[in-house]
Amino acid sequence: MEPQPGMFVIHVGDGGWVADPEVPGSEMQELVHDGSLEAGTTRILETDGPMTWTPEQREVLAVLEGGVRIEFGDGTSVSLGPGDIGTIPAGMETTWHVTVPIREMWVLAET
């Protein structure tokens, strides 16, 4: 919803979820897609195992529910849970080990 020009609103309840074409097995609600800025929420209710993700732009994420251990190419990892906020630079290869259900809010933007 765009109540005023350039101001966007979504409700992260149970409605409006669509399959995310970039993250198989997940659903998303897109808040805004304006040029190089994208923002929204993603949820994963089931998983068959780890998922790889390499953002094309810097990603800022906030975990709202569930948890994730994000593994990096060098074998190190970080664990995030509800209330944690993180950022991933563009082009960084990651493997996500999620605890379902997980819900996250994300922003992708050029830096």
Distance from the Cα of residue 10 to its chain's centroid: 15
What pLDDT shows up at residue 12?
A: 82
What are 53-74's pLDDT values in tens digits?
A: 999 999 999 999 999 999 999 9
Query: Which residues, given as ranges, of the chain have pLDDT below 50?
Result: none
Class level of CATH domain 18-109: mainly beta
**C-alpha–C-alpha distance, residues 50 and 26, integer Å:** 13
What pLDDT shows up at residue 23?
A: 83
SS3 58: strand
**C-alpha–C-alpha distance, residues 31 and 106, integer Å:** 10
pTM over 0.85: yes
